Copies of this chain bind each other. A is one copy, B any other.
Amino acid sequence: MQERAKATRRSLLEAAAQLFAEQGYAATSVNDMSARSGRTSGAVYFHYAGKEGIAVAVVQDRFATWSQLAARYADEAVPPVERLIALSYDIAHALAEDPVTRAGARLWAERATINAPLPDPFALWTAAATRLLAQARLAGHLYAHVRPARTARTLVRAFFGLCALTEALEGTAVVTSRLTDWWQLTLPSLRPQPVCDDLPTDR
């Protein structure tokens, strides 16, 4: 029974995420979620207390994704700045391809029209970036004046803006290549090495 409830919750969340990503919050109804998932409207109210509740859960689920992504970059054998760079490409990929991540980003952009407080989707990512930069600093891989928390805050906002605007203006196909342009414009300020020539240009 608990397994069945979990499966229902997941199927509702994924149906809602697809709809939010495709048509936005305002245009998506509980009936749409029921039709897309093959579950009843009552199940949406029972498991998520309605449309606002499932929107918050979608954004929270995206959090979880980012946290799991960050955990995959705990390998101490790889230099921390390289792990930060690899993580950024994975998040950019999720923002371009993963329905729940895409729905989370769209809901966050439409947050003014949602009658429920959404969790801050950037706090955990900033924390992960701060940790990696602090490790890099300790290892002597950064310029001495680069401060991890402040730099992580700046990087996360610029990174997210770059991904969001690139998708809006040019579509998702070029996000990897534009992210490489951005790292080439950012890395020389972080560390003494010259421009990186081995960053990806597509995937």
Contacts and interface: CB of A to CB of B under 8 A. Distances in A.
Interface of A: 24, 26-27, 106, 109-110, 112-113, 120, 122, 145, 150-151, 153-162, 164-166, 169, 178, 181-182, 184-190, 195
B185 A155 contact: yes
Given A153-B181, A157-B161, A189-B189, 16 more contacts: A26-B113, A110-B110, A122-B169, A145-B195, A150-B181, A151-B181, A151-B185, A154-B181, A154-B185, A156-B165, A157-B162, A157-B166, A157-B178, A160-B165, A161-B165, A187-B189
Given A154-B185, A182-B154, A162 B161 contact: yes
A154 B178 contact: yes
B157 A165 contact: yes
